[in-house]
Amino acid sequence: MPYKTLTPTQVRILELLFENPILSGEKIAKTLNISRTAVWKNIQILIRSGYPITSEKKGYKLMSKDVLLPNKLESLLKILDPKFKVYHFWETSSTMDVAKDLAEREDLALVIAERQTFGRGRLSRPWISNEGGIWMSLLIKLPLSLKESFVLSYMVSLSVVEVLRKLVSPRFFLKWPNDVVYQENEEEFKKVAGVLIEVEAEMDKLKYAIIGIGINVNNRIANLEPTGTSLLEITAQKWDRHLIISECLALFLKYLKTDPYETLNKWKAYSVTLGRIVKVIQPGREILGKALDISEDGALILEINHTQIKIYSGDCINLRTSS
Ligand code: BTN
């Protein structure tokens, strides 16, 4: 599995360029106590890794401040829990796989990448993960039973929607099972974020959960995925990904300490699925019905010909508002 990460020196160079409008090779070399050749070599590696650094007469310049700084992120997360560790990659296959490999030796870690070459979504679908988005997997160990673990996806998507509503716009909602969508107009919703949860259990007890979160932030996706959008496309501005990440995780950790049924009720309040006629697509079948509620075990309750059925997985398409 390709783990393309930065060395501590490369991270420090990136931080220095982030903090200064322009910086000479000499100044960087002095600050980091390395040779100018070493600065040059590391800058070339950063450029090849996709970082927008230019070399000008007066020195090196970082052309966009939209880069993830692992140390900054770790400091923010350590405020939430001192045990937090951040594993940052400028490229990896999927942060889910990296997090899984870390599960034996870490209790609380965030794996984050600038881009994923094999990002995956629910139902084994590919997840486009180009630069500018938030592609992260949280590795967490919780005293939950396997049955109780369904609440995690509701808690995470609720945290993401609340943070986006607070920071960006009140037009963000939730679509079952855990998509965060943006309301373009009365009937049209576009997906902004998705959640993928993979758990490992022994008997009925959770050993760990890997909570994958993908948020389209400063990436452009309109041409790649017509039913999706990003914060950049919605607002025509770039957003601080460190802030969004730390706020989402802070809220999620808070929800973990609260009554899960309270969370479920909050989730329902932002839902654009409930009360509508929907089509649920599952491998090999499509189910049409009215979305009534979410059950206490996390299923979507559908009414079909006056009978209620529970749906645990699938893709949900809103057809119309039910009268
Ligand atoms: C969905 O289908 O809606 C879930 C998408 C989850 C994508 C995230 S991006 C970070 C993590 N790594 C992956 O490969 N997938 C999840």
153 lines ligand 1 (CB under 6 A): no
Is the overall model pTM greater than 0.85, yes or no?
yes
> Ligand 1, atom 15: nearest CA belongs to which residue?
120
CA–centroid distance, residue 214 to ligand 1 (Å)? 5
Q: Is the sign of the CA dihedral 214, 268, 280, 145 positive or negative? A: positive
Q: What percent of the chain has pLDDT over 70?
A: 98
Amino acid at 277: I
92 lines ligand 1 (CB under 6 A): no
Residue 281 has pLDDT above 90, yes or no: yes
**Helix segments in the chain, DSSP class H:** 8-19, 25-32, 36-48, 70-80, 95-102, 151-167, 231-235, 241-256, 260-269
| pLDDT in the model for residue 221 | 86
Across the range 71-76, mean pLDDT stands at: 97
- CA distances 5 to 22, 83, 137, Å, are 24, 21, 16
pLDDT tens digit sequence for 103-133: 999 999 999 999 999 999 998 899 999 999 9
173 lines ligand 1 (CB under 6 A): no
Cα dihedral 232/194/132/246 (nearest 10): 100
Ligand 1 atom at shortest distance from the alpha carbon of 125 = 2
274 lines ligand 1 (CB under 6 A): no
CA–centroid distance, residue 31 to ligand 1 (Å)? 38
194 lines ligand 1 (CB under 6 A): yes
196 lines ligand 1 (CB under 6 A): yes
Ligand 1 atom at shortest distance from the alpha carbon of 94 = 14
pLDDT tens digit sequence for 231-271: 999 999 999 999 999 999 999 999 999 999 999 999 999 99
Amino acid at 220: R
